[in-house]
């Protein structure tokens, strides 16, 4: 499910700023962007994230800085600076033209300028990062809950339409056998074949057709799946995967009904129901 959360926290002269952005993904896929010296914290931070997120891709950016007034002095390695200047002079002699050494070159060169706090103590950083991360996760969940409530309203409306299609199919089912009986009679008359309407062969054919097109089990399971779907919508636990599975089962039942019913009217209802179901399946991918 998409969402965004941001928070910051100050502790022992450190300020931690955390931003989390999530997008749809079937599995939990968590990526951190934090100072290289703190990569050892990833496993611990991931555990905290998984308490709030069970599905989706989460990009988590963590930024640390010293509070105002802390020691942010830096030192210059004169030997490295002179070596860099000498290297540029050698390049100039090599290519036969002057290559200018700029301030940005000194800044980019490793080790020339070293800030007093260019590295972070993991334990100190953890004290600031954890509260900021937890607050940002709570803000993320709050945003995702608002989106979830909107999705729930949409789901309920579409489930009601699925139920309406199912009811139309159930009401039309008893007429399918009668129409098949009439169709057989008409074909026999058109073929000028004299046969008693109570002939055992005719009755057997109609009975076999009635058995093949019986969809009572499918409609019963449909009602059960839809009711279960509604129950999941009121659950406090992550239900995205369960809803995804139910969508597959509901689709399976409608496919079976469409193949067994052998009726144009029922076929139209099946198409309408599957159209609604496809919209539900698309949105289910956004559910935690």
CATH number where 153 lies: 1.20.120
Residue 166 half-sphere exposure, CB side, CA atoms within 13 Å? 25
User: Domain check: are 158 and 259 in the same one?
Assistant: yes
| Phi, psi dihedrals of residue 249, rounded to the nearest 5° | -70, -40
CATH at residue 52? 3.30.230.10
pLDDT at 124: 84
* Contact predicate 131/15, CB 8 Å: no
| Cβ atoms of 87 and 76 closer than 8 Å | no
Considering the domain architecture, whether residues 172 and 131 belong to the same structural domain is answered as: no
Return contacts of 38-45, CB within 8 angstroms, 24+ apart. Answer: 38/62, 38/64, 38/120, 38/122, 38/125, 38/129, 40/122, 41/122, 41/125, 41/126, 41/129, 44/126, 45/129, 45/130, 45/133
Taking the C-alpha atoms of residue 122 and residue 36, their distance in angstroms, rounded to an integer, is: 11
95 in the same domain as 58: no
- Distance between CA atoms of 144 and 21, rounded to whole angstroms? 11
Radius of gyration of the chain (CA): 34
Nearest to 22 by CA among 56, 63, 61, 62: 56
Q: Residue 8's Cα: distance from chain center in Å?
A: 27
Closest-CA residue to 11 (of 91, 53, 61, 67): 67
Residue 14 and residue 42 share a domain? yes
pLDDT reported for residue 17: 92
Please list the rounded mean pLDDT of every run of 10 residues in the chain (288 residues): 87 87 84 87 92 88 76 71 87 88 80 63 87 94 87 92 88 67 61 60 59 74 92 86 92 87 80 92 81
Are 138 and 164 in a shared domain?
no
CA 78 to chain CA mean position, Å: 53
Clarify whether residues 101 and 130 are in a common domain: no
| Whether 61 and 130 share a structural domain | yes
Q: How far is 243 from 152, CA to CA, in rounded Å?
A: 12
The whole-number pLDDT of residue 194 equals 59
How buried is 40 (Cβ within 10 angstroms: 0-12 exposed, 13-18 middle, 19+ buried)? exposed
- Same domain for 41 and 135, yes or no, is yes
What pLDDT score does 220 carry? Answer: 87
Indicate if 139 and 157 belong to the same structural domain.
Answer: no
Please report the DSSP string for 226-271 in residue order: HHHHHHHHT-SS--HHHHHHHHHHHHHHHHHHHHHH--HHHHHHHH
Structural domain including 247 reads: 145-284
In this prediction, residue 26 carries a pLDDT of: 74
Strand pairing of 113-115 and 74-76? Answer: antiparallel
Domains in the chain: how many in total? 3
Same domain, 158 and 96: no
155 with 256, same domain: the answer is yes
- Tell whether 270 and 170 lie within a shared domain: yes
- pLDDT, residue 201, reads 62
């Amino acid at each position: 499910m998409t969402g965004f959360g941001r928070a910051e926290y100050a502790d022992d002269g450190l300020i931690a700023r955390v931003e989390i952005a999530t997008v749809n993904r079937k599995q939990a896929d968590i990526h951190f962007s934090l100072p290289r010296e703190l990569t050892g914290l990833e496993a611990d931070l991931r555990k905290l994230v998984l308490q709030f997120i069970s599905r989706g891709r989460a990009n988590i950016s963590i930024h640390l800085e010293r509070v105002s007034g802390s020691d942010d002095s830096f030192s210059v390695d004169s030997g490295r600076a002179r070596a860099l200047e000498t290297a540029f002079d050698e390049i100039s002699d090599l290519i036969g033209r002057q290559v200018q050494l700029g301030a940005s070159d000194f800044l980019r060169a490793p080790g020339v300028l070293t800030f007093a706090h260019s590295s972070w103590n993991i334990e100190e950083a953890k004290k600031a990062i954890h509260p900021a991360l937890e607050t940002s996760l709570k803000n993320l969940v709050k945003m995702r809950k608002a989106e979830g409530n909107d999705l729930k309203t949409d789901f309920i409306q579409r489930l009601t339409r699925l139920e309406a299609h199912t009811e139309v199919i159930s009401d039309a089912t008893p007429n399918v056998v009668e129409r098949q009986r009439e169709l057989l009679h008409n074909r026999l008359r058109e073929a000028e074949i004299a046969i008693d309407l109570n002939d055992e062969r005719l009755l057997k054919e109609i009975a076999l057709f009635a058995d093949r097109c019986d969809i009572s089990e499918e409609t019963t399971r449909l009602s059960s799946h839809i009711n279960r779907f509604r129950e999941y919508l009121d659950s406090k636990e992550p239900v995205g995967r369960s809803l995804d599975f139910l969508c597959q089962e509901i689709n399976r039942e409608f496919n079976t009904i469409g193949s067994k019913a052998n009726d144009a009217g029922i076929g139209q209802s099946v198409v309408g129901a599957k159209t609604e179901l496809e919209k539900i399946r698309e949105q289910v991918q956004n559910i935690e």
